[in-house]
């Protein structure tokens, strides 16, 4: 499955560059009996349905030409939404001040999931200000311990 994601990223990157949109993520997942190849794209101003359709059409042609996915699947091209993943160190660094959700491979203070404001990112250490009951607490999370980092919506 990771091979499918890597090959798809290879095909869609030049399409995204030509359309002047950022490739945020690619995933290949099975939900029920159906496989989905999902491509998430965005721009600093946001993305509209016409831009998604243009990328989907161009990518669909490339996928047909290369034909490396054996299963039947549905292709979806869309915005990553408000809770977009932060896939690179650069994206994390650009998100200082944002409210984020971080999941870790190993527990830190007996926890593997943290949600709070990203206050700092230096020397590959993410510093989060989290709320524990009514007290603010600072948590330092090494970047390489994070299994997933994404923007979050605070309720």
- Are 57 and 97 within one domain? no
Report the C-alpha dihedral over residues 147, 102, 74, 70, rounded to 10 degrees: 0
pLDDT in tens, the chain (155 residues): 679 999 999 999 999 999 999 999 999 999 999 999 999 999 988 899 999 999 999 999 999 999 999 999 999 999 988 888 898 999 999 999 999 999 999 999 899 999 999 999 999 999 999 988 889 999 999 999 999 999 999 87
The CATH number linked to 121 is 2.30.30.180
Its domain, for residue 58, covers 2-78
Look up tokens 């560059």; give the residue: 17
Burial (CB count within 10 angstroms: exposed 0-12, middle 13-18, buried 19+), residue 41: buried
State the pTM of this model.
0.74
Side-chain-side CA neighbours of residue 142 (13 Å)? 6
């Amino acid at each position: 499955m990771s091979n499918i994601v890597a090959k798809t990223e290879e095909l869609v990157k030049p399409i995204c560059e030509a359309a002047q949109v950022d490739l945020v993520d690619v995933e290949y997942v099975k939900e029920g009996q159906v496989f989905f190849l999902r491509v998430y794209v965005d721009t600093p101003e946001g993305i509209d349905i016409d831009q998604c359709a243009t990328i989907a059409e161009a990518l669909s042609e490339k996928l047909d030409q290369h034909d490396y996915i054996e299963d039947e699947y549905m292709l979806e091209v869309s915005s990553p939404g408000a809770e977009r993943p932060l896939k690179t160190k650069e994206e994390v660094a650009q998100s200082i001040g944002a409210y984020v959700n971080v999941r870790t491979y190993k527990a830190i203070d007996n926890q593997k999931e943290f949600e709070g404001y990203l206050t700092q990112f230096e020397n590959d250490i993410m510093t989060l200000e989290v709320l524990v009951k009514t007290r603010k607490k600072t948590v330092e999370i090494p970047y390489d311990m994070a299994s997933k980092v994404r923007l979050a919506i605070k309720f």
